[in-house]
């Protein structure tokens, strides 16, 4: 998918109250249920490139995490466990007893915990740019320390540029009009790339405190697809390989030349893999192309 044509549809959001937060969620499409969980500082509509492709054959549910977008106020303390509980509440509100779980970055940890805590709710797992141990993704390497600081300090143009360096690979930025790219991406993130939502720091703290590594083997029998990106500085391929090695039978795919913004930058390839994975997990049922 070209980032030149990003359009976030005006989906009708519904809400459900839970632990001091009015959780906002949207359902699109028809067919077997799919739940999509976003990462740090991104609203649910960031899944638009995937929902556009999946909703022809699947009933897609996405939502704003607690304290993000229209899910206000944050209410209860933000933890991975609480976020997974929120996901279950949203599933219940949408009438989904179970769903295929798709998560990106922190959303991958939430999906992992949801599957571990409620195995009957998870038909399958698809994890992108993910990690089983949150502190691995929050380690302050010299590059992340410098680039992360630049994404929060300086002019708005400087902050946008630094954010782009975190989520996009060098090849996508070489010769690009970065101001225009940042403007096109803003609807997917749900905010100007120069600004980070206040809840982002709480989400990072929640991520840092959670580790699913010792329990990955419990997911044996759950169809799992793990996708990593070669140039991902937050969730390097080693993190994805560790998840795939820990879940018996998991499939691992690594994208050359991609970074943490994999679902946006390489949407067509990601969506093709997701459709293949979902159809296989449905046991060969005929799902519209």
3-state SS track over 15-69: EEEECCEEEEEEEECCCCEEEEECCCCCCHHHHHHHHHHHCCCCEEEEECCCCCC
**Chain segment 34-74, per-residue pLDDT in tens:** 999 999 999 999 999 999 999 999 999 999 999 999 999 99
The C-alpha angle 237, 245, 171, rounded to 5 degrees, equals 15
Residue 146 confidence class, pLDDT cut points 50, 70, 90: confident
Q: Is-contact 99 129, C-beta < 8 A?
A: no
Compute the distance between CA of residue 180 and CA of residue 257 in angstroms, rounded to an integer.
21
Residue 237 is predicted with a pLDDT of 97
Question: pTM of the full predicted structure?
Answer: 0.94
**Chain segment 244-288, per-residue pLDDT in tens:** 999 999 999 999 999 999 999 999 999 999 999 999 999 844 444
Place of tokens 């995490």: 65
**Segments of the chain assigned E as strands:** 14-18, 21-28, 33-37, 59-63, 99-104, 122-128, 224-229, 251-255
Residue 1 confidence class, pLDDT cut points 50, 70, 90: very low
Residue 221 has pLDDT above 90, yes or no: yes
Ranking 64-73, 126-135, 218-227, 277-286 by mean pLDDT, the lowest is: 277-286
Compute the distance between CA of residue 38 and CA of residue 144 in angstroms, rounded to an integer.
21
Give the chain's mean pLDDT. Answer: 93
Residue 17 has pLDDT above 70, yes or no: yes
3-138+198-281 CATH pick, 3.50.50.60, 3.30.70.260, 3.40.50.1820, 1.10.3720.10:
3.40.50.1820
């Amino acid at each position: 998918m070209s980032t030149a044509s990003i359009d976030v549809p005006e989906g009708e959001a519904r809400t459900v109250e839970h632990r001091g937060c009015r959780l906002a969620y949207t359902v699109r499409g028809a067919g077997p249920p799919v739940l999509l969980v976003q990462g740090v500082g991104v609203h649910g509509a960031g899944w638009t490139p995937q929902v556009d492709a999946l909703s022809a054959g699947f009933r897609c549910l996405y939502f704003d995490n607690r304290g993000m977008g229209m899910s206000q106020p944050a209410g209860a303390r933000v933890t991975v466990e609480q976020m997974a509980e929120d996901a279950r509440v949203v599933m219940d509100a949408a009438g989904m007893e179970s769903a295929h779980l798709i998560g990106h970055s922190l959303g991958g940890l939430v999906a992992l915990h949801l599957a571990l805590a409620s195995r009957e709710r998870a038909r399958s797992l698809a994890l992108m740019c993910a990690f089983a141990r949150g502190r691995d993704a929050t380690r302050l390497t010299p590059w992340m320390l410098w680039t992360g600081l630049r994404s929060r300090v300086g002019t708005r143009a400087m902050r946008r540029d630094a954010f782009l360096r975190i989520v996009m690979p060098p090849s996508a930025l070489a010769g690009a009009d970065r101001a225009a790219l940042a403007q096109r991406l803003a609807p997917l993130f749900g905010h100007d790339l120069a600004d980070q939502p206040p809840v982002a720091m709480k989400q990072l703290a929640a991520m840092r405190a959670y580790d699913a590594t010792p329990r990955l083997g419990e997911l044996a029998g759950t169809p799992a697809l793990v996708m990593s990106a070669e140039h991902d500085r937050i969730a390097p391929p080693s993190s994805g390989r560790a998840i795939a090695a820990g879940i018996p039978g998991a499939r691992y795919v690594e994208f050359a030349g991609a970074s943490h913004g994999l679902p946006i930058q390489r949407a067509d390839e990601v969506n093709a893999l997701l459709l293949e994975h979902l159809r296989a997990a449905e046991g060969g049922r005929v799902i519209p192309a």
